[in-house]
Amino acid sequence: MFKKKLRGGVHPSTHKELSNTAKIRRFPLSDRLYVSMQQHLGAPATPVVKVGQTVGKGQLLGASQGAISAPVHAPTSGKITAIAEHTAPHPSGLPVLAVTLEPDGRDQWEENPPVVDPFKLAPEEICTRVGAAGIVGLGGATFPAAVKLGNSLKTGVETLILNGGECEPYLTCDDRLMREHSAAIIQGALLMQQAVQAKNVIIGIEDNKPEALEKMLHAAAGSGIQVASVPSRYPMGSEKQLVQQLTGKEIPARSRAADSGLVVHNVATARAVYQALFENRPLISRIVTLSGQALTHQGNWEVPLGTLASQLINYASGFDATPARLIMGGPMMGIQLPDLHVPVIKGTSGILALTSDEINTREPEPCVRCASCVRACPMGLLPLEMAASIRAGDLEAASKLGLGDCVGCGACSYICPASLPLVHLFNYAKGELAQSHRDAEKRERTKILARRREERLERQAREKEALMAARRAAAAKKAAAEESSS
């Protein structure tokens, strides 16, 4: 493995000991599941069931639409009681379309054809089955896995990298997964290797997970897959940092890993691929870390998608104290929840209930230009200068300083002694710039349509004038012929 001292990064308190000691437990079915049609990047799924319909476990509830989308399946058997909007797991608290499923208690699978030997499948067929299973990136990005695999197959990649870093504090779902399901991860990785026709497979695991590293090394023995430890320095789980640490390749600015002959997936995604191809099981549950000192019991649970966060916490833990902040995901890059009446979705790696002692409650102060954020930035950017440009309303200046290369890891905000909300500023500016570019493209398309309309009207006028001239000439010719005959 290529090892290099990487720029930037921070060492936040990990708090992983709160949840990484106990085995993964299976969460029982709730009385109602709210299965969101938007659990992935891209276009939401379109419901293909009706209210009152009975469905089997694993049956298709929502079909993918568009080039980037993913289908959604029933986490258990039961009856569809509603297709309506439900609060999304997002700080806005805005609703999204969801299918409400009332379990029948039988947990009966929809009949599926027998499983064939997945390693005899063509690469394209593996991609198709991964897409049909609704698998998305389970590290948090939720990009449809089949799209990523298919694009990598078309462009060609040398190396498949599996991310087992899990550098976010508190989260231990991947750690426990690697300890308990290492063989399935390796088999899934081999299938993904076949799907993209990669020559090499490397699994990177932070060195603060010795048990997971040992289990994965044992499972990978003789498979040709390389398992390597990487430094536990946040944000090592970020794609660009992990790639550089494992291969020595630095992904250029505004470029994708695939452009450098690489493709990166999460270890949990590999296990989902194994389940889809060996067990005919679509993605209908995921492992969720419950942590934070406001909880009575921390740990990891395999949870059916659509389970309300409130039901999960009430059953699995309860509160020791009133949480000062609720977060879905990790504290560095996760999202703050408006409340717990939101369903678990494919991207729910964790639900954190943090006390006031665990969060920064200081009010922001003026920037002292200490450059701590510059030293912490893993992308080598100038966060303090970008923030100053954004506050001045000069978003283009921030863009020229490299705003588009910011990965939103939060290292700058974490290290800032003035408690400035730097990541919030950068995310705001990215959104504004994206909207500005969309508006500019819309104006340009409008100009093109207007120009085409003018050209069409001019052409029609010329054609009309030519037709009238031809008619006048024909009439004159006819009149002349009649006059000469008389």
Measure the CA–CA gap between 86 and 33, rounded to whole angstroms. Answer: 11
Alpha-carbon gap, residue 99 to 51, rounded angstroms: 9
Beta partners for residue 159, in sequence order: 200, 262
Specify the pLDDT at position 3.
53
Collect all residues with Cβ–Cβ distance below 8 Å to 279 and sequence separation of at least 6.
Answer: 115
Domain carrying residue 265: 16-24+118-288
Domain membership of residue 340 (yes or no) is: no
Q: Give the pLDDT confidence score for residue 347 in this predicted structure.
A: 94
Residues 6+ apart with CB under 8 A from 23: 176, 180, 300
Which letter does DSSP use for residue 30 in this model?
A: P
Whether the Cβ atoms of residue 346 and residue 314 lie closer than 8 Å to each other:
no
- Residues near 115 by beta carbon (within 8 Å), at least 6 away in sequence: 277, 278, 279, 280
Output the CA torsion 180→186→191→197 (10° steps): 150
Residue 195 lies in a domain: yes
Residue that the structure tokens 């499948």 belong to: 121
Q: Does residue 275 lie within any of the structural domains?
A: yes
Q: Is residue 1 part of a domain?
A: no
In a domain, 173, yes or no: yes
DSSP letters, 137-161, are -TTTT--BHHHHHHHHHHH--SEEE
In a domain, 334, yes or no: no
Whole-number pLDDT of residue 26:
96
Please, which residues have CB within 8 angstroms of residue 463's CB and are 6 or more apart in sequence? none
Give the total number of structural domains in the chain.
Answer: 1
For residue 213, which phi and psi values (nearest 5 degrees)?
-60, -45
- Under the phi-then-psi rule, with left for phi > 0, alpha for psi from -120 to 50, and beta for the rest, what region is 300? beta
Distances (CA, A) of 88 to 66, 226, 330: 21, 39, 18
Q: How far apart are CA 81 and CA 100, in angstroms?
A: 6
Q: From CA 222, how far away is CA 225, in angstroms rounded?
A: 8
Owner of token pair 């258990």 = 76
Output the domain CATH number for residue 234. 3.40.50.11540
- Is 73 domain-assigned? no
DSSP secondary structure letter of residue 369: -
User: What residues contact residue 100 under an 8 Å CB cut-off, 6+ apart?
Assistant: 32, 33, 34, 35, 80, 81, 82, 83, 84, 86
* Dist. CA 6–CA 204, nearest whole Å: 15
Determine the pLDDT at residue 304. 98
Residue linked to tokens 């665990």: 358
Helix (H, G, I), strand (E, B) or coil at 310: helix
Hunting for tokens 């027998």 — which residue is that? 114
CA atoms within 13 A on the CB side of 391: 12
Can you tell me the distance from the alpha carbon of 450 to that of 445, in angstroms, rounded to the nearest whole number? 9
Q: 299: phi > 0 → left, psi -120 to 50 → alpha, else beta; which?
A: left
47 within domain boundaries: no
Distance CA 181, CA 194 (A): 20
pLDDT for the residue 124: 96
Residues forming beta bridges with residue 72, ordered by sequence position: 62
Please enumerate in sequence order all residues whose Cβ is within 8 A of that of 99, keeping only pairs 6 or more positions apart, or say none: 34, 35, 37, 47, 49, 61, 62, 72, 80, 82, 83
Q: How many CB atoms lie within 10 A of CB 128?
A: 16
Tell me the pLDDT of the chain (486 aa) as tens digits.
Answer: 555 567 788 999 999 999 999 999 999 999 999 999 999 989 999 999 999 999 999 999 999 998 899 999 999 999 999 999 998 887 777 889 999 999 999 999 988 887 789 999 999 999 999 999 999 999 888 999 999 999 999 988 999 999 999 999 999 999 999 999 999 999 999 999 999 999 999 999 999 999 999 999 999 999 999 999 999 999 998 888 899 999 988 888 777 888 889 999 999 999 999 999 999 999 999 999 999 999 999 999 999 999 999 999 999 999 999 999 999 999 999 999 988 999 999 999 999 999 999 998 788 999 999 999 999 999 899 999 999 999 999 999 999 999 988 988 999 999 999 999 999 899 899 889 888 888 888 999 999 999 999 999 999 999 999 999 999 988 888 888 877 776
Q: Minimal CA–CA distance to 32: which of 82, 96, 93, 72?
A: 82
